Amino acid sequence: MFKAIKLALGGMVMAALIASGATAQQSEIQKTISSQIEAFKADDFEQAFTYATPSLQQLFQSPENFQRMVTTGYPMVWRPADVRYLELEEYQGSLWQKVQITDAKGVAHLLLYRMQQTAEGWRIGGVQILQMPQATA
């Protein structure tokens, strides 16, 4: 009996440690995304570019090219009115943070950020715009 209780408590402690690790990981990921969005809001595209993975930085080659892509393709990220973090999920070996961003006109957008851990911390490896779920009456 005592052994069973000890095993159950050990399992609960292990689950709590795993959950706290996942929470810390999600917090770091959200901080990376928030920092990039704050840089966008300040029109500091040089700083915003540092939150991209090295492969994205190589793809865009300069903060100026990155700026053109963001301002034309992702204006809701450049000038958000509200940012809400939703679930963090693992898919095919990558972590994906779902984010709901409301733009300056009040339109909600659902985005999926592919996150990659680097020696410098969590970096953004890509962003996909998802379809918002349709409301039902």
- Domain boundaries, given as residue ranges, for the chain: 2-130
pLDDT value, residue 19: 44
pLDDT value, residue 1: 61
pLDDT value, residue 134: 65
C-alpha dist (Å) from residue 94 to 8, 28, 33, 53, 109: 32, 15, 16, 13, 22
pLDDT value, residue 25: 83
pLDDT in tens, 94-129: 899 999 999 999 999 999 999 999 999 999 999 999
Alpha-carbon gap, residue 82 to 100, rounded angstroms? 8
pLDDT value, residue 15: 45
- 88 DSSP β-pair partners: 97
User: Per the confidence metrics, is the pTM higher than 0.85?
Assistant: no
Residue among 26, 24, 48, 20 nearest 97 (CA): 26
Q: What would the CATH number be for the domain defined by 2-130?
A: 3.10.450.50
What is the mean pLDDT for each group of 10 consecutive residues in the chain (137 residues)? Answer: 59 46 79 96 96 95 96 92 94 91 94 94 94 66
**Strand 80-91 to strand 94-103: parallel, antiparallel, or no bridges (unpaired)?**
antiparallel
